[in-house]
Amino acid sequence: METTRRRLLVRGGTVVRPEGTEQADVLCVDGIIETVGPDLGATGKDGDVSGGKSTTEVMDVSGKLVFAGCIDTQVHFREPGLEHKEDLASGSLAAIAGGVTTFFEMPNTKPATTSPEALADKLARAGGRVWADHAFFVGATAENADSLGEWENLPGCAGVKIFMGSSTGSLLVDDDVTLERVLRSGTRRVPVHAEDEARLRERYARVESGSPVRIHPHVRDPEAALLATRRLLDLAEKTHRPVHVLHVSTLEEVALLRERDLKGLVTAEATPNHLFLHAPVCYERYGSLVQMNPPVRSRDHQDAIRQAVVDSVIHVVGSDHAPHTLAEKRQPYPSCPSGIPGVQTTLALLLTAVREGWLRLEDVGRITSAAHADIYGIDKKGRIEPGRDADLVIVDPTIQEPLRLEWLRSKTGFSPFVGTLTHGWPTTTILRGEVAYEAHAPSGKPRGLPAF
Ligand code: DOR
């Protein structure tokens, strides 16, 4: 019996890849990219675009940009336990609305994801409710350190996350002996929140309640970040375990990463917050709404991080989408929680950087998808090439208007980037060959599946 194949021809757009941009069509068959090339329909290469019995759906994207679906390897979606801030459904809807077709979610939920049971619970909750493909990190602790090597290979697992400095939640591994045990248990790349816990404790002890939030980058100072990142690089070299320095926030860490080029052993991430905000202006304008860990710092740090992204010293941009309610964020410093939503706005912000001239379109393709796939071994995603999942995001470069709060899908109801003039907006997100989000609305039902 003849089976009908599901064919989608994305026609007439400018395909953006790390290697460059080109006018090309993308033919997707049964959710997989089959061919990428010029005039696939017109030349008849796909055979039946205009035929009477055609099952090929044609999407005309002339004048638009076609990116690989973004991969965001650092989001906090808060379920279980903190669903008043966000949940897997709302967080993943924000993701797909912003062109993110795959997310890796962090383990500092309540309870924390520190066991196979907790991982299985998250996967079960995701089933039928999540809009994008996904995987979940297991959090490292002194208690589970020796089991992590086995657990990191469980289905749906993104790997192991380490908090060297405490942030939201109680996950923490702050001594080198336990860190070494964690790094020797397993082989997958380990993302690390690198701030030195001893230094943070000492400095927080001197903070008076009600102090202005603008002191945050001095409380969690550049030295706290540098100390931890240096210890991490030493341990990576000693154990030969690949690590990923999350949310690089200082020019000193950038200098260290440039100096100690440990090749593929060490990769790094920047967040849109550190790329597009700087102190003291951001604290004057938004107060504790822009408080995050590690903090947003002054312009010289921002410039160094931008240059490191351009030079591939920092490999990826991850949002660190970390939602809290407005009421929580408005508590006095230092009790107000740290974190900013961002999964939906990363791609749009990076397009403003292209317009400003410090980033190229192909860099955006590299840092939002291909590099994530490369460093975490997501072989079936992250590039527009035959054989990979047909995860695509269509950007309309003519949408140049202030970013609107009503476009945003996170439960948080705020973003410091509302009002930013866009230079392109993701209008259509395609997950495995089917439209998942279009014109500010979801399409169909949540279809997200585990990426591993
Ligand atoms: O600001 C932050 N918020 N940094 C983190 O590392 C955690 C995150 C959260 O989960 O709220």
pLDDT over threshold 70, residue 320:
yes
Residue 320 among the catalytic residues = yes
pLDDT, residue 1, reads: 58
Q: Is the peptide bond before 280 cis (omega within 30 degrees of 0)?
A: yes
Distance CA 418, CA 406 (A): 9
Query: What are the tens digits of pLDDT across the range 16-64?
Result: 999 999 999 999 999 999 999 999 975 444 445 544 455 799 999 999 9
What is the whole-number distance in angstroms between the Cα of residue 49 and the centre of ligand 1? 48
Correct CATH for 5-66+385-442 of 2.30.40.10, 3.40.50.300, 3.90.1150.10, 2.40.10.120? 2.30.40.10
Reduced to 3 states (helix: H, G, I; strand: E, B; else coil), residue 353 is helix
User: In the structure, what pLDDT confidence band is assigned to residue 274 with cuts at 50, 70 and 90?
Assistant: very high
Q: Output b/e per residue, 370-394; b: 16+ Cβ within 10 A.
A: bbbbbbbebebbbbbeeebbbbbbb
Q: Which amino acid is at 175?
A: D
Q: Which amino acid is at 214?
A: R
pLDDT over threshold 80, residue 258:
yes
Query: What are the tens digits of pLDDT across the range 197-211?
Result: 999 999 999 999 999
Q: Do domains 5-66+385-442 and 69-376 have the same CATH topology?
A: no
Query: What are the tens digits of pLDDT across the range 203-244?
Result: 999 999 999 999 999 999 999 999 999 999 999 999 999 999
| Domains of the chain, residue spans | 5-66+385-442, 69-376
From 166, 168, 288, 328, mutation site for ligand 1 pocket: most ligand atoms within 8 A of C-beta: 168
What is the whole-number distance in angstroms between the Cα of residue 334 and the centre of ligand 1? 14
User: In the structure, what pLDDT confidence band is assigned to residue 4 with cuts at 50, 70 and 90?
Assistant: confident
For ligand 1, whether the C-beta of 168 sits within 6 Å is yes
For ligand 1, whether the C-beta of 292 sits within 6 Å is yes
For ligand 1, whether the C-beta of 319 sits within 6 Å is no
Of the candidates 320, 374, 389, 391, the residue annotated as catalytic is: 320
- Beta carbons of 94 and 85 less than 8 angstroms apart: no
Distance CA 78, CA 124 (A): 15
- Beta carbons of 93 and 341 less than 8 angstroms apart: no
- Beta carbons of 373 and 386 less than 8 angstroms apart: no
Integer-rounded Cα Rg, in Å, for the chain is 21
For ligand 1, whether the C-beta of 412 sits within 6 Å is no
Q: How many Cβ atoms from other residues are within 10 Å of residue 309's Cβ?
A: 26
What is the whole-number distance in angstroms between the Cα of residue 343 and the centre of ligand 1? 13
What is the whole-number distance in angstroms between the Cα of residue 294 and the centre of ligand 1? 8
For ligand 1, whether the C-beta of 193 sits within 6 Å is yes
Task: Measure Cα distances from 258 to 192, 262, 312, 318 in Å.
Answer: 18, 9, 10, 20
Contacts of 441 (CB under 8 A, 6+ apart): none
User: In the structure, what pLDDT confidence band is assigned to residue 188 with cuts at 50, 70 and 90?
Assistant: very high
For ligand 1, whether the C-beta of 171 sits within 6 Å is no
Distance CA 109, CA 31 (A): 32
For ligand 1, whether the C-beta of 74 sits within 6 Å is no
Q: Which two tokens stand for residue 296?
A: 């947003």
Correct CATH for 69-376 of 3.30.1370.100, 2.40.30.200, 3.20.20.140, 3.40.50.300? 3.20.20.140
What is the whole-number distance in angstroms between the Cα of residue 166 and the centre of ligand 1? 9
